[in-house]
Chain A
């Protein structure tokens, strides 16, 4: 082997090794920065706004955008990141169940507004929003009924829990409770993301509309 060739080979080996180290260091630093940003984004975001606005698109953006960009390696090793993801998903799960209503709307907001919004959304073919608004209008109306009758209910009780409390207290007639239960069941199905036909959605709306009129006048 000539000295020139040895020089060249040694230099090539050094360059390759340095490139490998530089590439690894750069990708690690880049990934660490992205991870830091993703964790901060998740920390600074909450699903409450999307839930109180009943906006599926915003809810999905929260799950995929705010929580989704956290690398699994970070999720596994950083308890803070894991806690943020768990809390976010848990919050959405509680919203899907009908035992809790978002704080933003439980006291304020007229049931008739939510009902009108439900009708508009169903008319536009947006079953998810329509039935989510319908469930909210039932929640607001039942909270107001409980207040009128001075029945103690948890502040954040959702439609299902309210119906159980008011039904057990015989504040609601059996027929009305049954009609509302049917509407809530259909709404829950849609809110969970399951398919609900437009006919079933319209029927749930009509039933709830009729029952809520009766609740208002009682």
Chain B
């Protein structure tokens, strides 16, 4: 997944559009949605493993051995840990958005220069 960089904010400033702040917000919303989709999938996968294990344990004819249980619980734990670490990253998004907004304000003063460079470079 590509992360937002300072260059993306410079590009927004170079576009010199009046709705640059809204576009920036949109970029962060997309980033948030992408992360949340991954988080949901990982939590669902971890939950499915635990539910399947529970269902097998409840059944009388289960052939589960202790290493099965340990492996499945461990796997679910790992998936949940990955999801949790991604979820923690979304908590930082608000702070990142505010920082990017400040950067956009500074970069907008250089908007025409950035646009000229972009026009020449492309």
Contact residues of A with B, CB < 8 Å? 1-3, 6-7, 9-11, 13-14, 16-18, 20-21, 24, 27, 31, 56-57, 59-60, 63-64, 67-73, 75-77, 82, 85-86, 89-90, 92-93, 96, 128, 191-194
In this complex, the member of B9, B62, B106, B110 whose beta carbon has the largest number of chain A beta carbons within 10 angstroms is B110
Report the count of interface residues on B (CB-CB < 8 A).
Answer: 52
- The answer to whether A73 and B7 have CB atoms under 8 Å apart is no
Determine how close the nearest CB of chain B comes to the CB of A69; give it in whole angstroms: 6
- The answer to whether B103 and A20 have CB atoms under 8 Å apart is no
Q: CA of A39 to CA of B64 in the docked complex: distance in angstroms?
A: 51
A interface footprint on B97-121 (CB within 8 Å = 1, 0 otherwise): 0111001001101111111111011
Query: A72-B4, A77-B95, A194-B112 provided; 8 other pairs, C-beta below 8 A?
Result: A10-B67, A11-B71, A13-B71, A24-B82, A59-B113, A68-B5, A75-B99, A92-B110
Determine how close the nearest CB of chain B comes to the CB of A80; give it in whole angstroms: 14
With contacts A3-B63, A17-B76, A76-B100 taken as known, whether A89 is within 8 angstroms of B110 at the C-beta atoms is yes
With contacts A1-B63, A6-B68, A17-B75 taken as known, whether A70 is within 8 angstroms of B5 at the C-beta atoms is yes
**Chain A contacts of B4 at CB under 8 A?**
71-73
**Chain B contacts of A2 at CB under 8 A?**
63
**Chain A contacts of B114 at CB under 8 A?**
60, 63, 193
A interface footprint on B47-59 (CB within 8 Å = 1, 0 otherwise): 0010010001000
For this complex, 20 residue pairs linking A to B, each with C-beta atoms less than 8 Å apart, are A2-B63, A3-B63, A6-B68, A16-B79, A17-B79, A18-B75, A20-B42, A20-B78, A60-B114, A60-B117, A68-B5, A70-B6, A76-B92, A76-B98, A77-B92, A85-B103, A192-B113, A193-B111, A193-B117, A194-B112
